[in-house]
Amino acid sequence: MNDYDYNNLKSILAKNPQELYIWWNSLDEDNKSYAMELITVYHKSLKEYQFEVSDDINDLSLAQEVLKKYTLNG
């Protein structure tokens, strides 16, 4: 991913759910494909940093609260 792609990805990830909805619906099919490609590459890179969750972790409420702002239903 070059700097141009990275900056575009940062722009996508910075959008709140409403902005993301409006932006996505304004794109043509080629730009939607490009955006999905960026997100897919980013997702694959995140998988490289996976870690094992300990069975000692029982309360996930804090993590769920933080992640709400990054989901479309949040």
Domain ranges of the chain: 3-68
Q: Report the pLDDT value the prediction gives residue 73, as an integer from 0 to 100.
A: 59
Nearest in space to 31 (alpha carbons), one of 3, 12, 46, 17: 12
* 8 and 37 Cβ atoms separated by less than 8 Å: no
Give ∠ CA 56-45-18 in degrees, rounded to 5: 85
- Identity (one letter) of the amino acid at 18? Q
The 10s digit of each residue's pLDDT in 10-41 is: 999 999 999 999 999 999 999 999 999 999 99
| pTM for this entry | 0.62
Q: Given pLDDT bands bounded at 50, 70 and 90, which one contains residue 57?
A: low
